[in-house]
């Protein structure tokens, strides 16, 4: 049970089962609930959506689903136009990182700056008044009265836990957030939705991707520039179609023949427009530098402890040690080598089920640098 200290809660409603049930639970617990839905799709981008995603031309279906869910819940519902700030903040970040040969995580930026930032600011500026904001994320927030900070915790459903995407939230943001689903498992939420008569929403596909199209080229606004694929010795072994189509660990589209074993993308050098490829064993590394750091728990209190880190959303937490590096970065040393450490992705640090903070992977350290 969420303590009902703040009466009016705005719920970010995407039209899916999770956000709908977040609103349902809060209303059931006595809160006055308002539904808010972001409109972010730019109609000037000419594509056809081929899969379920957060950003794409099928947004109208999400808006309509959210509207109908709010109507069924008997709550007010508003659509907030965030097309311009989303383009300027999330899409431009995504574009710039990809053109540097990195693999960005736009959801992390969207959560910190748009969904839990400009979205609420715009709603308030439109005269929509509320005390707290809730979403359907599988995560939890607890207040640490001893240290006087809000803590971000994993959701109890280990498979659906989404705390990885939320590590950049500030204390101010964490202090006004409710995550009603953090204490439930996904199957429990689905059963709840079925019992409440939301069968139609249960049939909708979940948004598993950022973009509804597999071709990022329309977002990058650049012409493909082919370049060399090298082996670990610097020998040219093939040609790539443009670095924006590749990420570390990728095997597809290398089109390398005559090799004794499969090759994978090991590194991407945007300046030289080159990709280095090699066998899978060379994907495993044990050290990296992380930049653009954000800490929920103060760094000085954790830097000498053995922690766990995730180098991508679906990776298993791995034990590591942290130490400060130059220019406000940290060096991360894993106890066991990790597969396909990818510059541009977020690395998030945990201690048990508590999110400590995280940063962006700047680069992998060579063995000579350890």
Q: Catalytic residue numbers?
A: 110, 213
Identify which of 343, 355, 310 has the alpha carbon closest to the alpha carbon of residue 320: 310
Q: Looking up tokens 């609420």, which residue turns up?
A: 120
Q: Tokens standing for 333?
A: 């040393």
Compute CA distances 208 → 211, 286, 316, whole Å.
9, 29, 18
Q: At how many degrees (to 10) do helices 17-28 and 186-195 cross?
A: 70
């Amino acid at each position: 049970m969420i303590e009902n200290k703040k009466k009016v809660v705005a719920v970010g409603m995407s039209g899916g089962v999770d956000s709908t049930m977040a609103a349902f639970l809060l209303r059931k617990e006595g809160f006055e609930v308002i539904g808010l839905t972001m409109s972010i799709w730019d109609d000037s981008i000419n594509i056809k959506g081929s899969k379920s995603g957060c950003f794409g031309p099928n947004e109208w279906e999400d808006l309509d689903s959210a509207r109908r869910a709010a109507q069924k819940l008997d709550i007010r519902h508003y659509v907030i136009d965030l097309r311009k700030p989303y383009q300027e903040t999330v899409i431009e970040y995504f574009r710039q990182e990809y053109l540097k040969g990195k693999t960005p995580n736009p959801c992390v930026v969207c959560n910190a700056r748009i969904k839990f930032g400009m979205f609420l600011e715009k709603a308030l500026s439109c005269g929509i008044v509320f005390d707290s904001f809730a979403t359907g994320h599988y995560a939890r927030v607890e207040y640490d009265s001893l240290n006087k900070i809000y803590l971000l915790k994993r959701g109890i459903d280990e498979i659906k836990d989404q705390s990885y995407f939320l590590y950049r939230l500030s204390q101010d943001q964490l202090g006004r957030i409710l995550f009603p689903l953090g204490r439930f498992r996904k199957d429990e939420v689905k059963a709840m939705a079925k019992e409440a008569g939301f069968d139609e929403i249960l049939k909708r596909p979940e948004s598993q991707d950022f973009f509804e199209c597999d071709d990022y080229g329309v977002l990058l606004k650049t012409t493909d520039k082919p370049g060399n694929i090298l082996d670990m010795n610097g020998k040219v072994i093939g040609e790539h179609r443009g670095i924006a189509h590749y990420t570390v660990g990728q095997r597809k589209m290398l089109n390398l023949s005559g090799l004794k074993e499969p090759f994978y993308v090991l590194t991407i050098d945007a300046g030289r427009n080159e990709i280095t490829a090699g066998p899978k064993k060379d994907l495993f590394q044990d050290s990296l530098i992380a930049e653009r750091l954000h800490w929920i728990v103060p760094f000085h209190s954790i830097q000498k402890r053995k922690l766990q880190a995730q180098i991508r959303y679906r990776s298993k937490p791995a034990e590591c040690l942290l130490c400060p590096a130059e220019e406000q970065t940290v060096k991360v040393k894993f106890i066991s080598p990790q597969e396909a450490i990818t510059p541009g992705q977020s690395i998030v640090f945990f201690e048990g089920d508590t999110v400590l903070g995280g940063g962006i992977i700047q680069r992998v350290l060579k063995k000579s640098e350890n």
